[in-house]
Amino acid sequence: MEVRSPKLLDQLREAIRVRRYSIRTENAYCDWARRFILFHGKRHPRDMAAGEVTAFLTYLASERNVSASTQNQAKSALLFLYKQVLGIELPWLDEIVQAKRGTRLPVVLTPREVRELLGAMHGTMGLVAGLLYGTGMRLLECLRLRAKDVELARREILIREGKGNKDRVTVLPENLVLPLQKHLVRVKALHDADIAAGFGEVYLPDALARKVPHAARQWGWQWVFPSPVRSVDPRSGVERRHHIYSESVQRAVREASRHVGIVKPCSPHVLRHSFATHLLQAGYDIRTVQELLGHSDVKTTMIYTHVLNRGGRGVVSPLDAL
């Protein structure tokens, strides 16, 4: 009996999983590979090369007007496909029309706007939003918190495997200690109910899952913000409780901002920008803010100093002197 070789996208997924890339990266890379194939009339990538890759990436920039980061993601996906799956080294793609990367200042809410926004959010979504503003975490860093990472007594939160695969410690606001304690009591009861029903396992990194097979059911490793329903893991096929979806938080912040009349573009990440800016306004050292945010380079943190310049770099308009 002839054994068929796996389909190309299945091979791509396997190569990504072997390298322990995230499920988000897996889905994004497979989506770009699919778009690339459709763009060239469903030709197999093995029958194409750098010229076709250049044409696709140029199309994204010149006709679709995608951002520079989106074009770079597509490029990384296709280079991975050719090198790791097809075993083909593509030359440096010099002829690509590059999407222009502009310089943008972050959107920052005023303290009053933050107060109104958080006041319009309740329950789990309100707690997540409060943590984003009170700690400066990125959204996924917050949603991926484990029970053991919350140090209530020391008023700090340990962020594991943040952006760049770095750990860091950030502050736990005093005003969130009691709400977070009550939330964790409810989450613990939900976990105990899962255990009693024969479930209760949580996703663990593969190495840890092998070394400590019983850790997946231990309370300390459970998500701080678990989903209200169990679901089947698309990779392992195991039914367990994932953390809440980032889209749910984004929708809640968007609706709350609309409800209180905030006209600025408002997303969960805006709360991180506001955290950094308000700390600098309060006189905290930029190096301290850099460590709390997890920036590798202080130049990244310095973008918030531009937001602090009142009236256009602190200049008093001549109209106000009349």
pLDDT band at 210 (very low <50, low <70, confident <90, very high): confident
Residues 32 and 163 in one domain: no
What total of structural domains would you count in the chain?
2
Catalytic (active site) residue 214: no
Q: Is the pTM of this model over 0.85?
A: no
3-state secondary structure 43-98: CCHHHCCHHHHHHHHHHHHHCCCCCHHHHHHHHHHHHHHHHHHCCCCCCCCCCCCC
Could you say which of 39, 67, 85 is where a domain stops? 85
Residues 267 and 118 in one domain: yes
Tell me which of 163, 230, 242, 254 is the catalytic residue: 163
Could you say which of 67, 85, 103 is where a domain stops? 85
313 assigned to some structural domain: no
Residues 14 and 123 in one domain: no
Nearest residue to 294 via CA among 173, 177, 161, 172:
161
Residues 39 and 168 in one domain: no
Tell me which of 29, 82, 133, 304 is the catalytic residue: 304
101 assigned to some structural domain: no
Catalytic (active site) residue 295: yes
Catalytic (active site) residue 163: yes
Residues 131 and 50 in one domain: no
Residues 185 and 236 in one domain: yes
Residues 153 and 295 in one domain: yes
Tell me which of 138, 144, 241, 278 is the catalytic residue: 138
Dump pLDDT digits (tens) for 84-106: 999 988 877 766 777 777 777 89
Tell me which of 13, 241, 272, 278 is the catalytic residue: 272
CATH number for the domain spanning 54: value is 1.10.150.130
Dump pLDDT digits (tens) for 125-156: 999 999 999 999 999 999 999 999 999 999 99
Q: What's phi and psi for 243, nearest 5 deg? A: -80, 165
In the numeric block, which tokens belong to residue 141?
């860093």
End-to-end CA distance of the chain: 91
Spell out the alpha helix ranges (H) of the chain: 8-18, 23-39, 50-62, 68-80, 111-119, 123-135, 139-143, 177-196, 206-211, 246-260, 268-281, 286-293, 298-301, 303-308
Residues 115 and 222 in one domain: yes
Dump pLDDT digits (tens) for 111-120: 999 999 999 9
In the numeric block, which tokens belong to residue 299?
């130049």
Catalytic (active site) residue 191: no
3-class SS at 120?
coil
Residue 1 has pLDDT above 50, yes or no: no
| Residues of the domain holding 246 | 111-306
